[in-house]
Chains A and B, each alone.
Chain A
Amino acid sequence: MDNPKQILVIEDEASLLEAIQTKLKKEGFKTVVARDGNKAIDYLNQSAQLPDLIWLDYYLPKLNGLQILEIIKAKESLKDIPIIVVSNTAGQEKVDAMMALGVDNYFVKAEKRLDEVVKEVKRLLK
C-alpha cells in the first residue's frame, strides 16, 4: 500500500500493544509506539512526520492520558490530529474531562472488539 497512514499508539501494557500493533499492521497501517507520556510528547515534538492519528490510553506512567491530551491540544501543530482514547478507565469524570478537551472517540477496551476500534480508525482516516 502506498503512503500507509501512520498511527501513534500511546499504550504501556505490553500484551495489549502486541495485539494492537498486529491488528493495525494487518490492516495496513504503520505504527509508532510510545510507552509513556514523555516519550510520546518528545516524538510529537521532534518527529519530522506527524502521525495521522493518535491512539491514546489513560493510565500511563509519567504523564496520564488527560495530561498528554492537554499538551497535544495546546499545540497548534498537534491539535488537529484525530485522536481516539482507548482505555479501561471507568471514571465518568475522567471521560468527561477528556471528551471536553476534544477527542474524536472514546472506547473501553474490555467492551469493544479490536476490529470495531479499527473500523473507527479507518473511518476517521477517510
Chain B
Amino acid sequence: MNKSAANQTKAKTGFKFHSIQTKLTLSIILILIPVIALLSFVSFRNAQTLLKNRISEGLETAITSRQDRINQIILTSLEHARLISSSDQGQDLLLVKDATQSSEKLETLLFLYPEFEEALVFNDQGRIRASTFKDPAFEVESLIKAAGSHQKPQVFESRGHYYVSVNFPEISQASASALLRINQDKLAAVLRDYGGLGLSGEVILGKRQGDQVVYLNSLRHRPNAQEQLKLTVSQNPRLPLVLAVQKLSGTTIAQDYRGEEVIASYRHLPATDWGLVVKMDAQEAYAPIQRLRTELIQVSLLILILFLLVAFAVSRSITEPLHRLQLGTEKIGKGEWDLDLDIHTGDEVEQLANEFTKMAKELQQLYQGLEQKVKERTVELRSAKEDIEKEKKKAETILASIGDGVIVTGREGKIIFFNRAAEDFSGYSQDEVLGKNFYEILKVCREKNKPLGRDSTLTHKALNQAKAERNDDRFFTHKDGRLYPVSQVATPLIIEGEVIGAIVAFRDITREKEIDRMKTEFISVASHQLRTPLSAIKWFTEMLITGDAGKINSEQKKFLQQIYGSNERMIELVNSLLNVSRIEQGRISIDPQPTDLGELVDQVLVELKPKVEKKKLRVAVSKNEKLPKVNIDPKLIRQVYANLLSNAVKYTEEGGEINVFISRKDDEIISQIEDSGYGIPKEQQKQIFSKFFRADNILKVSAEGSGLGLYIVKSVVESSGGRIWFESEEGKGATFWFTLPVEGTPPRKGQQTLEDPKL
C-alpha cells in the first residue's frame, strides 16, 4: 500500500524510481558519458597538439621574422657603414685636419644616413678625427675599446647602444675607423614588436659576456631590471637565451626571469653573436587550449543535460500517456465510465488509449445493461420471495395444525422442526429442542427401563438406511420423565438420491393402548368368566358320566352325553371368538421354528382318528420325500391343518375319501386337502372365508360349526406369508390349497397364540 502511494506521489513530482523515465534517462546517460568523454578527450588532445604545434610554429615564425628584420637592420647598418667609409665624403672627412670641421662633415654625412644617430671617427692610435657626440660625459674611450679591431665592419652593443664599427680604406698611409651609433628605433621597434606574442610575449636580445649572458634590451615585465637579472651560463644551461648565445636554435619550454613557465623560440645571430629569444607565457600561449578544454567540458555537459532533457521529455511522452491510461483504469474501478484520456501521441499508446476508451464505453453499456437486469431480477426475486414467504407461512400453518406430532431432523439427527402437537405430546417447546439430537430429547424406550439403542430407532434407520418404517410399540420420554407410548412413522427425506434428513410423525397412543389393554383385559376376563361355568358344567357332567356320583342308567348317560357335547361346542365357540378377536387386534404372535409339516398333519390326524373311524373315511397322506423343514409357527399351522382336516371330516359322508398332498413348488410348499364331501355351492363360494359363514348345504347337515374356522385359517395362512384358495363343486367335494413360503415366516411379536380348536 505504502509503496504504491509513494510511487504515486513520486509520479506527481515527475520522478519515479522504477520507471521508464529513469531507465531511459539512465541508459542515455550511461551511453553518452563515455561517448562524449571519449570524443571530448580525443578532440581535446588533437586540438591541444594542433594548438601547441601552431604556437610553436607561430613562435618560430615570429622569431624568424624578427631574426630577419634584425639581421636586415644589421646588414643594412653594415652596408651603410661600408658605404660611409668608402664614400667620398668619408674620404673628405679624413683629409680635413680640423676635428671640428671634420665633425661637421661627419654630421652632414650622417644626414644621409638617418639610421645612424651619432658617429665617431678615430685613427689607429685612437685619436678622434671627428665625432658627433655632443655629450661630454660620454665615454669614448671605452667605446673604442669595446669596438675592438676588426677587418670587416661589425655591429656590436655597448652600454645600451648599438654601434657599427667600420674601417676606412687606407688612404695616404692613414688608417681610420669609424663607429656609428645605430638608431635604435628600428631595432627597438623589432624588439618591442609583440605582435603575435600576446600580452606576455616579448623579444629578448642577449649577448655573452664571459660566463654570463646579458640582456641587451629592456625586459617587458621587468623594465630596467636587466642588470639584476643577467644569467649565468653554467647555472642555467637550459635556458633558451643561454642556448641561443651558444649558437643553438630551437623552441623549448622553460622558466623565465619571473619564474613563469614560458614557451620560447631561440636563435643565434651569427653576425653579432647575439642570442635572440621570442617567448610567450605558456599560460597565455596555451590559453586557447584551456579555453578549449573548458569549452569542451561545458559543451559536453550541455550536451549531457540536453540529452537528459530530451530523454526526460521522450520518456515522459511515453509514460505520461501510460500514466493517464492508468488513471483511466482507476476511474473505471470507481465506476466512472467517461474516460477523457487525452492521449494524442499518434503512436501505439494512442491506439491503446482509444481501444481502452472504447472498451470502457462497452463496459459501461454492459454494466448498465446488467444494472438494469439486476433491477428487474431483484423485482422478480422480491415477488418470488414474497410468494415463497406466503407458501412458507402456509406450510408452517399446515404443519402447526397437524394433529400428530411432526419432527424433522437433519442428516445427523438434529432437530430442525418440532411442531405444536409434538410440543404438546413431549412437553418440550420447539426452542428447547431445536438443534439438539432427537435421541437425546425423545429417549426412546421399548418399555419401562428398557431404553432402545439409538441404532434401533426408526429415525436412525430412516436416516442411515433410507428406510421408512412404522411402529406402535415404542415409548418416548416426556419432559417430566414419564414414558408414553407412541405410534410413529419415520421417513427419510431424500433429495437427489441423498438422505438429507428424516421426518417423524408420531402420536401419543396412551389412550389407544389403554383401550387396547381394556379390550384385552375384557377378552381375558370375558373368556375367563365365560369359561368358568362351562368348565364347571364340563367336569360335573364328566363326573356324572363316569359314575363318580353314582351309577346312572343308559338313558341318563345319553342325556348327559348330549349335555356334555353341547357344552363342548360352547367352549369351542368361546375359543373361536377369542381367536377371532385376537386376530382382529393383530395380537397373534408368530414364533417360527423349523417344522416338519408332515408331522403336523400326522399329529392332527391322530386326534381326528376317532371321528375318521366312526365315519369309515379313507384318509391318505402323500408328501415329497425331500420336503424341507419350514420355519413356521407350528402351533398356528397345526391349527390350519386341524381346521381344514376337521372340515373335510365333518363335511364328507360315510365312506368318503380324504387326500392330503404336500409338495414343493419353487419357493413355496403347497398343501392340498381334498375331500369327496358335500362341496361348496358356487353362489356361496365368495363368502366361504367370511366370519360366521356357513354354507346353506351343510347347515342342513350339521348344526355344529361356528363358521369361524376358515376365517381363522385364512388369517393365519396370510399372516404366515402364504395364500389359500379352493375349488369345489356341490356334491362332488372340495379341495383346499394353501401355500407357505420355503424361506419361512418372519417372527412377529404378538401377545397371543391361537386357542386350540376343538377337533
The yes or no answer to B535 lying at the interface (CB within 8 A) is: yes
Residue of B nearest to A95 (CB): B753
Report the minimum CB–CB distance from A112 to chain B (whole Å).
9
Contact residue among B527, B536, B549 (Cβ-Cβ distance under 8 Å from A13): B536
Interchain CB contact under 8 A, B542 and A113: yes
* Residues on the A chain within 8 Å of B539, using CB: 16, 19-20, 23, 109, 113-114
Scan residues 517-537 of chain B and give those whose CB is less than 8 A from a CB of chain A. 520, 523-525, 527-528, 531-536
Interchain CB contact under 8 A, A91 and B752: yes
Residue of A nearest to B546 (CB): A115
Interchain CB contact under 8 A, A111 and B524: no
How far does the alpha carbon of A117 sit from the alpha carbon of B453 in the complex, in Å? 46
The yes or no answer to A93 lying at the interface (CB within 8 A) is: yes
The yes or no answer to A48 lying at the interface (CB within 8 A) is: no
Report the minimum CB–CB distance from B128 to chain A (whole Å).
193
Q: A90-B578, A90-B755 are in contact. Are A13 and B532 (CB under 8 A)?
A: yes
Interchain CB contact under 8 A, B548 and A88: no
B706-747: contact bitstring with A at CB < 8 Å (1 yes, 0 no)? 000000000000000000000000000000000000000000
Interchain CB contact under 8 A, A88 and B543: no
Number of residues from B at the complex interface, CB < 8 A: 31
How far does the alpha carbon of A16 sit from the alpha carbon of B531 in the complex, in Å? 11
A11-22: contact bitstring with B at CB < 8 Å (1 yes, 0 no)? 001011001101
How far does the alpha carbon of A121 sit from the alpha carbon of B21 in the complex, in Å? 126
The yes or no answer to A49 lying at the interface (CB within 8 A) is: no
How far does the alpha carbon of A99 sit from the alpha carbon of B378 in the complex, in Å? 76
* Residues on the A chain within 8 Å of B540, using CB: 15, 19
* Residues on the A chain within 8 Å of B546, using CB: 115
* Residues on the B chain within 8 Å of A19, using CB: 536, 539-540, 543
Interface size class of A (residues with CB under 8 A): 20 to 34
Interchain CB contact under 8 A, B756 and A111: yes
Scan residues 638-695 of chain B and give those whose CB is less than 8 A from a CB of chain A. none
Contact residue among A22, A90, A109 (Cβ-Cβ distance under 8 Å from B548): A22
Scan residues 63-95 of chain A and give those whose CB is less than 8 A from a CB of chain B. 87-93
The yes or no answer to B364 lying at the interface (CB within 8 A) is: no
* Residues on the B chain within 8 Å of A90, using CB: 523-524, 527-528, 578, 752, 755
The yes or no answer to B574 lying at the interface (CB within 8 A) is: yes
Residue of A nearest to B582 (CB): A90
How far does the alpha carbon of A22 sit from the alpha carbon of B755 in the complex, in Å? 29
Report the minimum CB–CB distance from B198 to chain A (whole Å).
149
Contact residue among B524, B571, B753 (Cβ-Cβ distance under 8 Å from A110): B571
Q: A88-B531, A89-B528, A90-B527 are in contact. Are A113 and B589 (CB under 8 A)?
A: no
Contact residue among B520, B532, B756, B758 (Cβ-Cβ distance under 8 Å from A16): B532
Residue of A nearest to B532 (CB): A13
The yes or no answer to B751 lying at the interface (CB within 8 A) is: yes
Scan residues 340-396 of chain B and give those whose CB is less than 8 A from a CB of chain A. none
How far does the alpha carbon of A57 sit from the alpha carbon of B524 in the complex, in Å? 14
Interchain CB contact under 8 A, A92 and B589: yes
Most buried by A among B548, B575, B578, B753: B548
How far does the alpha carbon of A109 sit from the alpha carbon of B540 in the complex, in Å? 12
B535-566: contact bitstring with A at CB < 8 Å (1 yes, 0 no)? 11011101100101100000000000000000
* Residues on the A chain within 8 Å of B751, using CB: 91-93
Q: A16-B539, A19-B540, A111-B571 are in contact. Are A89 and B524 (CB under 8 A)?
A: yes
Interchain CB contact under 8 A, B548 and A26: yes
How far does the alpha carbon of A23 sit from the alpha carbon of B539 in the complex, in Å? 9
How far does the alpha carbon of A115 sit from the alpha carbon of B542 in the complex, in Å? 8
Residue of B nearest to A109 (CB): B535
The yes or no answer to A29 lying at the interface (CB within 8 A) is: no
* Residues on the B chain within 8 Å of A92, using CB: 589, 751-753
Residue of B nearest to A114 (CB): B539
How far does the alpha carbon of A116 sit from the alpha carbon of B168 in the complex, in Å? 215
Those 6 A-B pairs whose CB atoms lie nearest each other, nearest first: A109-B535, A88-B531, A15-B536, A19-B539, A114-B539, A110-B531
A-B contact pairs, 11 of them (CB 8 A): A16-B535, A16-B536, A16-B539, A19-B539, A23-B548, A26-B548, A88-B528, A89-B524, A110-B538, A110-B574, A114-B542
A contact residues vs B (CB 8 Å cutoff):
13, 15-16, 19-20, 22-23, 26, 59, 87-93, 108-111, 113-115
Other A-B pairs, 11, CB within 8 Å; known A13-B532, A88-B527: A13-B536, A19-B536, A19-B539, A20-B539, A23-B543, A59-B528, A90-B523, A90-B528, A91-B520, A91-B751, A111-B758
